[in-house]
Structure formats: structure tokens, C-alpha cells
Amino acid sequence: MSFEDLLKELQGQKDVQEDPSHVSLEALFHDSFMSKYTRSNSFAEFLEKGNFKVQTREDILNIPDEFFDRHVARDTDFANWQKMLDTATAEYGGK
């Protein structure tokens, strides 16, 4: 999932009909997943702990990948965002 897709999801602009295989961030990073693999109880809390102010497209695009990866490595069991995303996607698909 690109940062642009993440932003659209957070803003509620991504329409499920636009991409039938799309899974919402709320479903992908559900509270159980976040509690199991991170030090946050929700994805929103995870973003907040990283001091990521995500309100607009520019907010997402302005987050350098290395900062987001560093936050993931520090506050989760994952080395980077891609590994976190891959694990969440695999676990969601295994349900």
C-alpha cells in the first residue's frame, strides 16, 4: 500500500468499488494485530506516537520513508513498514 493509498484510506476517500481487492486499514491493522506486534492499541495511536500528523495528501507524501521505517522498527516487531504491511496482509488473507 502506498502512502497515497494510506492517506485516501485515512480520509475515507478510497472507495471499495474502486479496488475490489482493497482491504481497509482498520481491517488490516485491527486492534488485535496492533496489540500483538506493536506497542500501540490501534493504528491511529501508532501514527500518533510517531508524531505523524496525517490530515492531507501532502502530510503523507512529506513523511520520508526512512522516518516511517524508523518508527516501525522502534515501536513494532518489524524492521520496516513493508514487513509490517506484508505480515498484516498475510494474516488477513489467512482468515
Taking only the tens place, the pLDDT of each residue in 46-77 is: 989 999 876 655 666 688 889 989 999 999 99
pLDDT at 28: 85
Helix axes 65-75, 81-93, angle to 10 degrees: 60
Q: What residues does 39 pair with on adjacent strands?
A: none
Give SS3 for 38: strand
User: 79 or 93: whose pLDDT is higher?
Assistant: 79
C-alpha grid cell for residue 12?
475515507
pLDDT at 75: 97
Rg over alpha carbons for the chain, rounded to the nearest Å, is 13
pLDDT at 61: 63
pLDDT at 66: 92
User: 81 or 12: whose pLDDT is higher?
Assistant: 81
- Percent of the chain residues topping a pLDDT of 70: 67
DSSP state of 52: -
Q: How far is the C-alpha of 91 from the C-alpha of 50, rounded, in Å?
A: 24
Q: How far is the C-alpha of 86 from the C-alpha of 91, rounded, in Å?
A: 9
Predicted structure pTM score: 0.71
